[in-house]
Structure 1
Amino acid sequence: MTAEPHSRRSVLTAGAAVAGAAVGAVALSACGTSGSAATPGSKNAQPAPAPGQPLVALADVPVGEAKAAKGPDGSDIVVARTAENTAAAFSAICTHQGCTVAPQGAELKCPCHGSVFDALTGAVKNGPAKQPLPPVKVRVDNGQIVTG
């Protein structure tokens, strides 16, 4: 076997191709849906957590606003206080491309593509998302918002 001498051009071309492929893979993975963001009824859907597991103190969520929380399984959820003694919760995974939404007052905003959701209902207020955020069953129990 003989070794071919590599020209400067062939080394630079190969390096640029490898770098371009790596950047493309990172960009695609940032916009893709995550494995934990399953839609209801899909084969990746997770079973509902056991009822009564605490998520956040009711007093920590202002009425009409929402707060980010972690589900018992570590999933990202948003807990909203819909009235003085009632709450609602939704998956925090944007239904457009799978990014995590952030609570901002009465809205949930996706930092990736600009979708906006109603924090109290999970409904789409502004796309590109077309589907609402999937609800997570919760209830208020002894001053805590717990799984429902």
Structure 2
Amino acid sequence: MTHASTRRTILLTTGAVALAAGCGSESGGGSGAASQSAGSGGKELATTADIPVGGGTIFNNQKVVVTQPKKDEFKCFSAICTHQGCTVAKVANGTIDCPCHGSKFHIADGSVAHGPATRPLPAEKFEVRGNSIRLT
């Protein structure tokens, strides 16, 4: 007997596969070690010391960027540019920069600093537990 897939089934299955496969080593800096979480907080992306104050780190495998606009204030955004879907390439001078068409986003809130993008980078769910930064 065959069951029709529902949107919920597909999303749940896709999410489980993404969680299982999505957390490997990161690029763009960081500790290079991803560890399994004992709690509900997911896998460790980085330690707080890995994220520079006034800057950030891009995690290509997870498609997120973590920033620290001010000391001990961390933010996490999608690393996919809202203009045409390119992956952002660097964090510098207070912005998250896309290499494809020059869009720039503020590290503090993901808002557009320079177009052609017109929409902010979406925030991603994460937590800081001790000195560990984890996707949730």
Common fold by TM > 0.5: yes
| Normalised TM-score (structure 2) | 0.65
Which structure is higher in helix share? 1
- 8 Å contact kept, 2:68–2:74: yes
Q: Of residues 73, 77, 90 in structure 1, which corresponds to 2:77?
A: 90
- Aligned residue for 2:96? 108
- Aligned residue for 2:55? 65
- Aligned ranges for residues 1-148 of structure 1 at < 5 Å? 47=15, 51-70=41-60, 74-102=61-89, 103-148=91-136
Hey, which bits of structure 1, 4+ residues long, moved more than 3 A? 46-50
- Residue 49 of structure 2 aligns to a residue whose secondary structure is helix
User: C-alpha root-mean-square deviation of aligned residues, in Å?
Assistant: 2.3
Cα shift readout 1:81-117 (whole Å, capped 9, x = no counterpart): 1333231100110000011112224211111101110
Number of matched residues? 102
- Aligned residue for 1:7? none
- 8 Å contact kept, 1:58–1:144: yes
- 8 Å contact kept, 2:111–2:119: yes
CA distance in 2, matches of 1:132, 1:89: 12
Point out the more displaced range, 79-88 or 104-113.
Answer: 79-88
CA distance in 2, matches of 1:65, 1:120: 9
Cα shift readout 1:18-49 (whole Å, capped 9, x = no counterpart): xxxxxxxxxxxxxxxxxxxxxxxxx98x7596
- 8 Å contact kept, 1:87–1:138: no
- 8 Å contact kept, 1:65–1:80: yes
CA distance in 2, matches of 1:105, 1:79: 15
